[in-house]
Amino acid sequence: MDRSTISAEYLLQQKALHQNPNYGVASLSFAPIVADFIRQTGVQSVSDYGAGKKNLFVGLRNAGVDLAEYHPYDPAFEEYGEPRCADLVCCIDVLEHIEPERLEHVLLDLSKITVNFGFFSIHMGPAAKTLSDGRNAHLIQEPSSWWLPRLTKYFEILHLQSHQMMGDGIWIIVRPKISPDC
């Protein structure tokens, strides 16, 4: 893992938050959308960046999707290993949790493993949960107009959809602008 994507202090806070069974469940809401996309495109491999407890995998199975390859990655779960390349990279309810000074590193990390498509969801407002230091769990609370220039540095946006799942947000389907490091 590129340690520049998360600080040691914040990694400890994320590990503590993941002890809560209600933390990291957003991917269950997005799994039907991802499942439809997989069926439409014939994607065979998925990298789940910020996988948490692997709820996307559970949601995809429940939607009848049986992947040839599923690669979870989350720095709070060392047993998952490093981020891995895949046809589709999913990053669901993760980017708003990134330390602002490390966002560029995370976006670069995502671009290096995205072979064909990315599915990213971003919540725009505050989270219901707070960190142990009192900060809101959504460290970045910005509108889509703030996010788009940062994303388009690395990705071509194929589709953008506003949503109201768990508050104001967007989900996007992207293609990488650079060749992945696979």
Q: Is residue 26 one of the residues assigned to a domain?
A: yes
Supply the pTM of this predicted model: 0.93
Per-residue pLDDT of the chain (182 residues; tens, 9 = 90+): 445 899 999 998 888 888 877 776 788 899 999 999 999 999 999 999 999 999 999 999 999 999 999 999 999 999 999 999 999 999 999 999 999 999 999 999 999 999 999 999 999 999 988 888 999 999 999 999 999 999 999 999 999 998 877 678 999 999 999 888 88
Q: Is residue 88 one of the residues assigned to a domain?
A: yes
Q: Is residue 69 one of the residues assigned to a domain?
A: yes
CATH number reported for the structural domain that contains residue 143 in this entry:
3.40.50.150
- Burial class of 96 by CB neighbour count within 10 A (0 to 12, 13 to 18, 19+): buried
Which residue segment(s) compose the domain that 157 sits in? Answer: 3-176
Count of the separate structural domains present in the chain = 1
Q: Is residue 182 one of the residues assigned to a domain?
A: no
DSSP secondary structure of 104-132:
HHHHHHHHHHEEEEEEEEEE-S--S-B-T
CA dist., res. 51 & res. 31, Å (int): 12
The beta strands (E) that lie in the chain are given as 45-49, 69-73, 86-92, 114-123, 155-163, 169-176
Q: Is residue 80 one of the residues assigned to a domain?
A: yes
